[in-house]
């Protein structure tokens, strides 16, 4: 598996693969790869025969007080994992390659509606940064398919809308959340947790399971459900950031008539912000 750092070279290599009739898949990542990322590569391998992974810690999607500088960078281990998973090519550009005129001068892509609220409200500019870098990666690689994790549920909705609104000929696949045995959703940020925080962390998933269970058993008072769940999270040391029940497809606030819903949460353990979500379907 070759690692390429320049836009020009990756275009040449992908053009060759395309001439050989290969179907191109893209899995954009920020590196520090874990089993969750590997499941994205596996899914891409199911639908494409030339799978490109990108590793780029995108400064444009980090807020000023966020963890850009400390975000774990583990290139060699990542290359090893990608090779073992059957990835064909790694694109690993630096910031100058992606933003040659500087970030202030970069044209931004804004995806309305689905970018607002939830993480969009808590991390201003975050989804513009994501939509911009993903648009650039789509234009550089021109994949037939692309795979993103359902753990970043709102991000996946943003990308699906971006692709639809801009008529991009790319099929977007979501891959299910991969969890540790105790239920914690895998995330590069889990490694920031202390031993004690790691022990409390599965409570976030458990809280969502209980909340969804209540809805499936007929509870219709969403305000009460959210209050109770936030209290339960606070009791085990979380500082809830948001907890919302939304329509799975539109991300509009759910009502008792919503048949396909999703509960989305972000909560801090110390200074580490964890996110998780759980969908539910009513008959
Ligand atoms: O989910 C991520 O790792 C990032 O937001 C992405 C999609 C690679 C864009 O930088």
Percent of the chain with pLDDT over 70: 100
Ligand 1: distance of its center to the CA of 205 in Å?
A: 22
The angle at the Cα of 114, spanning 187 to 58, to the nearest 5 degrees, equals 45
Q: At a CB cut-off of 8 Å and minimum separation 6, what does 170 contact?
A: 138, 143, 144, 145, 146, 163
Cβ–ligand 1 distance for 30 under 6 Å, the answer: yes
Determine the Cα–Cα distance for residues 264 and 251; give it in Å rounded to an integer: 10
Q: Which atom of ligand 1 is nearest to the CA of 28?
A: 8
Tell me, what's the pLDDT at 209? 98
Residue 217 is a catalytic residue: no
Domains defined for the chain, CATH in brackets:
2-175 (3.40.50.620), 188-277 (3.30.1300.10)
Cβ–ligand 1 distance for 29 under 6 Å, the answer: yes
Place of tokens 């690993």: 92
Q: Which atom of ligand 1 is nearest to the CA of 159?
A: 7
Query: Rounded to whole angstroms, what are the CA distances from 198 to 202, 226, 238, 270, 274?
Result: 8, 23, 11, 11, 11
Determine the Cα–Cα distance for residues 132 and 111; give it in Å rounded to an integer: 10
When pLDDT is cut at 50, 70 and 90, the band that residue 144 belongs to is: very high
Ligand 1: distance of its center to the CA of 227 in Å?
A: 31
For the stretch 14-43, pLDDT in tens is: 999 999 999 999 999 999 999 999 999 999
| pLDDT average, residue stretch 262-278 | 98
Contact 117, 247 (CB under 8 A): no
* Helix, coil or strand: residue 167: coil
Describe the chain by its helix, strand, coil percentages, rounded to 5.
40, 20, 35
Place of tokens 């008959």: 283
Ligand 1: distance of its center to the CA of 28 in Å?
A: 6
When pLDDT is cut at 50, 70 and 90, the band that residue 205 belongs to is: very high
For the stretch 55-77, pLDDT in tens is: 999 999 999 999 999 999 999 99
Determine the Cα–Cα distance for residues 283 and 274; give it in Å rounded to an integer: 31
For the stretch 185-195, pLDDT in tens is: 999 999 999 99
């Amino acid at each position: 598996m070759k690692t390429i750092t320049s836009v020009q070279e990756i275009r040449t290599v992908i053009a060759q693969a395309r001439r050989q009739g290969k179907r191109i898949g893209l899995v954009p990542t920020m590196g520090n790869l874990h089993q969750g990322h590997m499941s994205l590569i596996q899914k891409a391998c199911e639908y494409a025969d030339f799978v490109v992974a990108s590793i780029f810690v995108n400064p444009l999607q980090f807020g000023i007080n966020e963890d850009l500088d400390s975000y774990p960078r583990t290139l060699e281990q990542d290359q090893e994992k990608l090779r073992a998973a059957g990835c064909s090519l790694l694109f690993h550009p630096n910031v100058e390659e992606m933003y040659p005129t500087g970030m202030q001068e970069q044209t931004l892509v804004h995806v309305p509606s689905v970018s607002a609220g939830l993480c969009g409200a808590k991390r201003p500019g975050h989804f513009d940064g994501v939509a911009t870098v993903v648009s650039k990666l789509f234009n550089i690689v021109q994949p037939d398919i692309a795979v993103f994790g359902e753990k970043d549920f709102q991000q996946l909705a943003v990308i699906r809308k971006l692709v639809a609104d801009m008529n991009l000929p790319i099929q977007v696949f979501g891959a299910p959340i991969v969890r540790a045995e105790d239920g914690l959703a895998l995330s590069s940020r889990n490694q920031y947790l202390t031993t004690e925080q790691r022990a409390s962390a599965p409570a976030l998933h458990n809280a969502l399971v209980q909340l969804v269970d209540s809805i499936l058993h007929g509870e219709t008072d969403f305000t009460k459900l959210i209050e109770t769940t936030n209290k339960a999270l606070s009791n085990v040391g979380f500082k809830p950031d948001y907890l919302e029940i939304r329509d799975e497809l539109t991300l509009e606030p759910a009502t008792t008539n919503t048949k396909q819903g999703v509960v989305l949460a972000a909560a801090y353990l110390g200074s580490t912000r964890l996110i998780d979500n759980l969908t539910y379907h009513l008959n």
